[in-house]
């Protein structure tokens, strides 16, 4: 049992004991086997003593690392590679969401916490001002919208359409036209391709394990308003969205992806690495879902902007660009995302170039105070040029493929 499952309950009903603390108990009991639960609860800080750079369990040096479910595939691969080069070291990696990772390191039950957005770090720094949380960037990626069973000809969704869709538990979406392949949701727009909240047929899918860096990034984008478009009630907390969206709620990126894959008539969001089906066919969407194009600033279908940077009147040209059908290459999206992560002053921001709030995000490893020698050695290893393979195989980007930013 990992604290991904425990974190699911945190979003729906508060427990007296933190999911991070509860799970650490299970981890240590499983490893040590003879440590009393009461001793762990009364000595959390000493159980992960930083003076030793980790915990000594069974003669091995152990680092407890946990947090973001987005980072989990890359982090398990990085931990295995690190352990292969450092006999006698154990890197125990758990998942449960960025918020759980920040809580765990702030309370001292994790040596290193993982966050999949800078805002998750800044939120934790505000929540735990005495913990002296110090963040180091280790990689980056982007959140994409995934869909199963969109109506005929629909290949793109505007911000207004997403706002309408994620503000309701169910919606109906009319078929688009070949000349206008956008789900607009704009008042006064043509009847085709519009979202009707409350109708039957389509359900939004989002995270239940909150706070989540993935949902935080998506929510920040969703809450963006443009002149004439109005606002949205879907995201009532813009940083680390604390309330579940209406519709279906699943645990982690894997849960959202699995649900959308299995249910026609659903739209959700995941990190691009999950949407690409990296574990099966790297660089392509899965066989069940597509990645629709997104646009945040259009006022009428005639002025839609192609989301990979080229202007198009009413079509996604050429060949869809930042739209990826089921089982097809995501190379164009990857190229644009990397350009966004390396751009300056918002000049290049996925999903479009005319709005400074995008869906790209950075990955962080966080320690309570300055990292110990052991903690820093592992973090530096994760940042290293030779580790691009582990990041890329998980569908993400290493620091050597983007321009790093100033830590929060």
Q: Indicate if 202 and 344 belong to the same structural domain.
A: yes
Give domain status of residue 287, yes or no: yes
Q: Indicate if 69 and 82 belong to the same structural domain.
A: yes
pLDDT given at position 130? 96
Overall number of domains in the chain: 2
pLDDT given at position 354? 58
| DSSP helix, strand, coil percent of the chain (3-state; round to 5) | 35, 20, 45
Q: Consecutive sets of 10 residues in the chain, 408 residues long: mean pLDDT of each?
A: 38 42 44 29 32 50 92 94 93 91 95 91 94 96 94 86 88 86 71 83 90 83 57 53 83 91 96 75 82 69 46 38 81 80 66 72 95 95 92 85 85
Give domain status of residue 250, yes or no: yes
- Decide if 62 contacts 54 (C-beta within 8 A): yes
Q: What is the Cα–Cα distance from 162 to 175, expressed in whole angstroms?
A: 16
Q: Indicate if 294 and 175 belong to the same structural domain.
A: yes
Residue 246: which of 169, 343, 155 has the closest Cα?
169
Which sign does the torsion angle of CA 376, 380, 381, 383 carry? positive
Q: Indicate if 9 and 56 belong to the same structural domain.
A: yes
- What CATH number should be reported for the domain holding residue 48? 3.40.190.10
Q: Which residue has the tokens 């995941």?
A: 270
Cα angle for residues 134, 140, 145 (degrees, 5° grid):
125
Q: Indicate if 101 and 82 belong to the same structural domain.
A: yes
Q: Indicate if 321 and 185 belong to the same structural domain.
A: yes
Q: Which residue segment(s) compose the domain that 244 sits in?
A: 143-360
Q: Indicate if 236 and 174 belong to the same structural domain.
A: yes
Can you tell me whether residue 266 is helix, strand or coil?
strand
Task: Give the pair of three-digit tokens for residue 186.
Answer: 């704009």
pLDDT given at position 233? 57
Can you tell me whether residue 78 is helix, strand or coil?
helix
Give domain status of residue 407, yes or no: no
Q: Indicate if 276 and 379 belong to the same structural domain.
A: no
Q: Indicate if 94 and 187 belong to the same structural domain.
A: no
> What is the Cβ-side half-sphere exposure of residue 254, based on CA atoms within 13 angstroms?
13
- Decide if 321 contacts 310 (C-beta within 8 A): yes
Q: Indicate if 28 and 135 belong to the same structural domain.
A: yes
Give domain status of residue 75, yes or no: yes
- Decide if 170 contacts 296 (C-beta within 8 A): no
Give the predicted TM-score (pTM) of the model: 0.74
Q: Indicate if 261 and 308 belong to the same structural domain.
A: yes
Q: Indicate if 79 and 165 belong to the same structural domain.
A: no
Q: What is the Cα–Cα distance from 31 to 88, expressed in whole angstroms?
A: 15
Q: Which residues contact 304 (CB under 8 A, 6 or more apart)?
A: 156, 158, 182, 295, 298, 312, 313, 314
Give domain status of residue 11, yes or no: yes
- Decide if 310 contacts 335 (C-beta within 8 A): no
Give domain status of residue 314, yes or no: yes
Give domain status of residue 408, yes or no: no
pLDDT given at position 281? 62
């Amino acid at each position: 049992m990992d604290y991904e499952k425990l974190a699911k309950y945190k979003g729906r009903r508060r427990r007296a004991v933190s999911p991070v603390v509860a799970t650490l108990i299970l981890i240590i009991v499983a490893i040590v086997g003879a440590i009393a639960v009461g001793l762990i609860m009364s000595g959390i800080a000493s159980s992960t003593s930083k003076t030793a750079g980790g915990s000594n369990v069974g003669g091995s040096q152990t680092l407890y690392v946990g947090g973001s479910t987005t980072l989990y595939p890359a982090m398990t691969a990085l931990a295995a590679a690190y352990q292969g080069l450092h006999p006698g070291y154990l890197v125990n990696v758990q998942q449960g969401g960025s918020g759980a990772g920040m809580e765990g390191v702030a309370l001292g039950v994790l040596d290193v916490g993982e966050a999949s957005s800078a805002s998750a770090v800044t939120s934790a720094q505000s929540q735990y001002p005495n913990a002296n949380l110090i963040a180091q960037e280790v990689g980056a990626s982007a959140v994409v919208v995934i869909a199963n069973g969109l109506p005929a000809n629909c290949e793109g969704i505007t911000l207004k359409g997403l706002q309408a869709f994620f503000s309701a538990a169910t919606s109906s979406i009319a078929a688009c036209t070949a000349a206008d392949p956008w789900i607009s949701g704009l008042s006064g727009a043509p009847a085709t391709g519009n979202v009707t909240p409350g109708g039957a047929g389509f359900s939004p899918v989002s995270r239940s394990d909150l706070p989540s860096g993935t949902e935080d990034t998506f929510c920040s984008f969703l809450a963006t308003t443009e002149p004439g478009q109005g606002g949205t009630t879907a995201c009532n907390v813009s940083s680390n969205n604390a309330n579940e969206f209406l519709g279906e709620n699943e645990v982690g990126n894997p849960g959202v992806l699995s649900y959308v894959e299995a249910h026609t008539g659903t739209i959700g969001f995941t990190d691009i690495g999950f949407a690409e089906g990296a574990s099966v066919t790297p660089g392509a969407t899965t066989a069940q879902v597509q990645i629709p194009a997104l646009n945040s600033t259009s006022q009428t279908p005639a002025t839609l902007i192609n989301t990979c940077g080229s202007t198009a009147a009413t079509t996604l040209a050429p060949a869809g660009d930042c739209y990826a059908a089921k089982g097809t290459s995501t190379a164009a999206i990857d190229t644009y995302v990397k350009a966004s992560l390396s751009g300056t002053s918002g000049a290049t921001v996925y999903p479009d170039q005319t709005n400074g709030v995008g869906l790209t995000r950075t990955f962080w490893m966080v320690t309570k105070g300055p990292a110990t020698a052991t903690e820093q050695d592992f973090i530096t290893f994760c940042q290293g040029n030779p580790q691009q393979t582990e990041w890329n195989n998980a569908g993400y980007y290493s620091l050597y493929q983007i321009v790093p930013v100033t830590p929060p």
